[in-house]
Structure 1
């Protein structure tokens, strides 16, 4: 149990008393949920509730909240992590897996560790975007998983490496961006890669030595790999054809929740890959355990139960959002539940002991299913939902109505606070191009408003027992940060337009805001030092913004605004230096002397998807995680472009090298130059631009 050394204050009266003694700030009504003076896990406590029991910052004094200190983070770009706080020290990860230790009272940098992926394993630097969702703490060590697959244990006092292990099998295309979790002397990590068909699994390691304790595969492999494993043999019956050759997906890249009451770990399993179910499993099959929650014994890793949200998943839907363990009263009786609002648009409440579905309702605009059948637990899908009869417009889109940005839960109000999104996508089978060979499908965002809430976000207060919204605060932009609920009756969230906001948790009324000068995607957290409560968060726009730039671009420019750690307290008087505002104009550069070969432009367009995740589809960037190359002076020179792409001239700054031939790079550069001219209006626009599905 995480609370055995007084570090994880989870569900124990002793832990609550310790926090109260240290800070004198703990609200008594929150004894069963959340954290006290420390914030020792990504979601706060093991329950992943994102709830602070501290109440020194509250609805009565929130207007006195001010910036206590800030720390600029040079070289960082997309900051998705939520900082941890242990004994007054904050720990967090940067874009490329660097780990920082910062004094929580002053903002002074204590130490920094850089895993140097570009030097240690440059071939894996290109396996994913430069993002990392956080670190774990236990027994005096910080644990970080980095993009190239390493899980690293650091001494929390000094940042020195205690051990490092490679978590990935050789020859795969997995990546690693999620935060580890710790429990019972172990540390667990998953991985990404479902979009390119990689087989999902999680691995638990011994915290002291890094030795592997157990591994659980979340989808089956070949018949030879499954032989003798009754769980994989059972799961394989839900797949058809040579699925292990085509690809499976089902990776666990974000949500994992430890349950100390039942000694279980719950896994949030990702989408299938390829997306088209007929490509990966022809003729039918639910395809376990994609888009599922799976419960395992924490000591052995043995399967206990599963609940699949999307049988035969076809839309890039995933159960990777955070899962909150709580005890709630249903029909007059306390129930141990697990709550999740995944990408598919339904809010699920499960019985933690049995995995049985208690309830599920639509949170917003959903049309792939009419409802969830409570007798079977299965969705009742609408006609042509799997685009088997032709293109179809589906809500939610591949982004989902809620993605990885954490929701929180307050036992004080009984409400979950969700960073909600409303957007749709047109799905269709795809049979042309390299991407089609991988995914078998296309998903292009619907960029026009079909009702007033389309292409907007919201902070949504959801009653998980009544399964209805209690209040909703609309956000003008889709891609906003995770939430923090506190015993002071408040909900905090950072937003795409660059503000940190506080709302009354009961009514939703905005009661405070602060201009952070840049869009925010990570979730805030709270901690106490002495008698002072702080609220802290990372400010660093990005993530999947480039790949979905046509609906996520809000005008932040790459490198124009500093990335920061901000910490607030009552009476704080610090100030931020001004930074450039948002700018939606494309400041494209061109050299009219460059003569473009139209064949090269066409060939480059076919390969341009390689750059899309960081620089935008058709090079229409959104400020992060990479620059808009149409605005790049460096990219005016083909030779400079070649040095960056093929030779890795900027690898240390996060730009991977790609082992492409000179002719291939020439084609991509030609297409880039063509898109710059389109932005300038000196070339006819290409109306058949690549789609922006997340790959």
Structure 2
């Protein structure tokens, strides 16, 4: 930080204090950040809180667009940008890093890890998404989808070093943001849904050399020997669990550094496979450390404590949402706490010194899997038949959770946490009860369901962590929305699936400002100051897990039609966005009338098309991201052009993997299924919403 910039920041904060927004409800010292937004959560505490006050409830109506930057070739944009000393840094869909002048919006440099060239097989394990970069000591750190970790010169974008963070041939992938602390950079990984074993690794920020590694599930007896944390975890698994994979628990998002206690808090993901009888046969153990927050020593990676939110997870519940640290005055005494809203729908307030619950967790959304939490043991008092013991379980929240990776924020001014919430259920079936929306996960049929009032909607929920109750709630039109930013100016910002960027009064929930971004938003905004002026920035690029949810998350955005952008706002901003097409819910299917459908090929193609679902939609119900609607695709209209695309991979650099292991017969079958679904949309064929027939029940 330059002396001039520091002085400007101090003046801005002082000016804000004279305006005031009332006495703070909770201690404000060191919460969040001010001039720079140097990590995805703003400060190391991951509170997504800006101490800046120039933009507030009294003048937010004068907030306008300062500048915008179009990002050709990008699709899903999930990251929260960083702002450091006049530059903005962020990753694109496949971890290409951009550096932008924060005052003008001019692109300064771009670095592309080219995963498609270096490790193309990893493209089969996830859609293109990256949730952020890290900064420390003049370096930018980013992880590619293939889990190579890069250090870049923040001034030039030049690669300083690169290191592999996962073993060769593993199922692990990286979509999360690294974090930096004390000269180190830490990164986790995903892949639990494929049975990968979870772990996080800390590297030296200057050299890229590994400093320590902590596994979130145990390995073999030989691997665990001499490691007390792994030996303890192994006792909660059966003897044969490693035959089914690594157990999951992958830490792909929430990682928080606690400077006060010199600890790292790791949010471990769901267990894999979902069905515990497959994952851990012959056992009824808790399967540590899946679905847990684990505290480790920041210098050594040694285990300190854990709290498991879902013992023996069976529903894709995970502790991966952002983990916030704060000091709260509770019963007249300051307590060092963790605030956490995982996917299971509860809100946990945890003593970060001991890992023990402070109060009874509240329910932030519709929850039917648990009665309450036993405050003596910390274990959930579960409802019956939640692990599909009778062959069928319908559970809320569903697999995307009540709160997922989209960042929640916290304001000490109000004492409230602002959570982007989803409400939708999930049906887990072992007996064949399913539609075409179902995925087959190792013989377990899984699909979203809408049955209850509020299902299919997202909500912005203001939550009181001490009272464990809702302060206010705003209902969004659609299910999958963006993360939040809270500011000392008394505002909460959030983007939505339908493309509005909104500001709310942090105390009341009243919407006080809105901007049409022209495309859905899933990332979280951030705020910074430059030359004494406060700005707010947001990436615009709908996507993520939308295709896998198909029509449940379809808002009408079309692939390649609406530009992806970085938007930056300031008081008095007068820039305008170029008009672009709005949402279009019609499927503009194409057809070749001369093509004769082979019904056996359609049946076989339905089974194979699950390989297309993560990008092109379950049952081909596309959402415009991350891939186009195959029913509308001219390439998929003809068998020869589809075959060439899948066999040779001409669009790999745009995120379309090569499927050279598919046979000509299999490609013909997929083509037949696409043609059948296109004709359904055109009214030329009866609708078939039956599940794929390849499920062994």
TM superposition score normalised by structure 1: 0.95
Runs of 4+ in 1 over 6 A off after TM superposition: 15-18, 430-433
Give the structure 2 partner of residue 3 of structure 1: none
- Among 130, 136, 139, which residue is 2:137 paired with? 139
Give the structure 2 partner of residue 161 of structure 1: 159
Relative distance call for 1:542 and 1:690 in structure 2 (3 A) is: farther
Give the secondary-structure state (helix, strand or coil) at the position aligned to 2:185. strand
- Among 646, 662, 665, which residue is 1:663 paired with? 665
Give the secondary-structure state (helix, strand or coil) at the position aligned to 2:547. coil
RMSD over aligned CA atoms reads: 1.9
Distance 2:97 2:594 in 1: 45
Are 1:255 and 2:258 matched, yes or no? no
Give the secondary-structure state (helix, strand or coil) at the position aligned to 1:678. helix
Distance 2:562 2:692 in 1: 29
Give the secondary-structure state (helix, strand or coil) at the position aligned to 1:572. coil
Q: Once the 2 structures are TM-superposed, how far is the Cα of residue 26 of structure 1 from its aligned partner?
A: 5.8
Are 1:446 and 2:436 matched, yes or no? no
Q: Once the 2 structures are TM-superposed, how far is the Cα of residue 588 of structure 1 from its aligned partner?
A: 0.8
Deviations 1:195-220 (A, max 9, x none): 01100011110000000111111001
Unaligned runs of 5+ in 2: none
Deviations 1:225-266 (A, max 9, x none): 212222111101101141112021110000001000001010
Q: Once the 2 structures are TM-superposed, how far is the Cα of residue 586 of structure 1 from its aligned partner?
A: 1.0
Give the structure 1 partner of residue 201 of structure 2: 203
Distance 2:431 2:201 in 1: 34
- Among 27, 36, 39, which residue is 1:38 paired with? 36
Give the structure 2 partner of residue 10 of structure 1: none
Give the structure 1 partner of residue 268 of structure 2: 269
Deviations 1:173-199 (A, max 9, x none): 111100000001100001110001100
Give the structure 2 partner of residue 565 of structure 1: 566
Q: Once the 2 structures are TM-superposed, how far is the Cα of residue 17 of structure 1 from its aligned partner?
A: 8.2
Distance 1:592 1:225 in 2: 60
Q: Once the 2 structures are TM-superposed, how far is the Cα of residue 390 of structure 1 from its aligned partner?
A: 2.0
Deviations 1:68-90 (A, max 9, x none): 00000000000000000000100
Distance 2:510 2:692 in 1: 41
Distance 2:178 2:674 in 1: 38
Deviations 1:403-422 (A, max 9, x none): 10000000000000000111
Distance 1:221 1:17 in 2: 52
Q: Once the 2 structures are TM-superposed, how far is the Cα of residue 535 of structure 1 from its aligned partner?
A: 0.3
Question: Do the aligned residues in 1 keep the contact of 2:391 with 2:431 (CA within 8 Å)?
Answer: no
Give the secondary-structure state (helix, strand or coil) at the position aligned to 1:315. coil
Distance 1:221 1:18 in 2: 53
Deviations 1:504-541 (A, max 9, x none): 00000000000000000000000000121000000000
Deviations 1:15-44 (A, max 9, x none): 998941577556496333010110000000
1:124-523 residue pairs with structure 2 within 5 A?
Answer: 124-247=122-245, 248-282=247-281, 283-359=283-359, 360-429=361-430, 439-447=442-450, 449-451=451-453, 453-523=454-524
Deviates more, 1:504-513 or 1:435-444: 435-444
Deviations 1:579-636 (A, max 9, x none): 1111111111111111222222111111111110110111111111111111111111
Question: Do the aligned residues in 1 keep the contact of 2:439 with 2:447 (CA within 8 Å)?
Answer: no
Question: Do the aligned residues in 1 keep the contact of 2:12 with 2:53 (CA within 8 Å)?
Answer: no
Distance 2:691 2:355 in 1: 44
Give the structure 1 partner of residue 540 of structure 2: 539
Give the secondary-structure state (helix, strand or coil) at the position aligned to 1:629. coil
Question: Do the aligned residues in 1 keep the contact of 2:149 with 2:163 (CA within 8 Å)?
Answer: yes
Distance 1:687 1:100 in 2: 42
Q: Once the 2 structures are TM-superposed, how far is the Cα of residue 171 of structure 1 from its aligned partner?
A: 1.4
Give the secondary-structure state (helix, strand or coil) at the position aligned to 2:243. helix
Question: Do the aligned residues in 2 keep the contact of 1:22 with 1:530 (CA within 8 Å)?
Answer: no
Q: Once the 2 structures are TM-superposed, how far is the Cα of residue 221 of structure 1 from its aligned partner?
A: 1.2
Deviations 1:465-496 (A, max 9, x none): 00000011111111000000000000000001
Are 1:688 and 2:690 matched, yes or no? yes
Q: Once the 2 structures are TM-superposed, how far is the Cα of residue 127 of structure 1 from its aligned partner?
A: 1.9
Distance 1:349 1:612 in 2: 37
Q: Once the 2 structures are TM-superposed, how far is the Cα of residue 432 of structure 1 from its aligned partner?
A: 12
Relative distance call for 1:138 and 1:690 in structure 2 (3 A) is: farther
Distance 2:244 2:233 in 1: 17
Unaligned runs of 5+ in 1: 1-5, 8-14
Distance 2:9 2:275 in 1: 50
Are 1:108 and 2:106 matched, yes or no? yes
Question: Do the aligned residues in 2 keep the contact of 1:540 with 1:563 (CA within 8 Å)?
Answer: yes
TM superposition score normalised by structure 2: 0.95
How many positions carry a matched residue from both structures?
677
Give the structure 2 partner of residue 20 of structure 1: 10
Q: Once the 2 structures are TM-superposed, how far is the Cα of residue 431 of structure 1 from its aligned partner?
A: 8.8
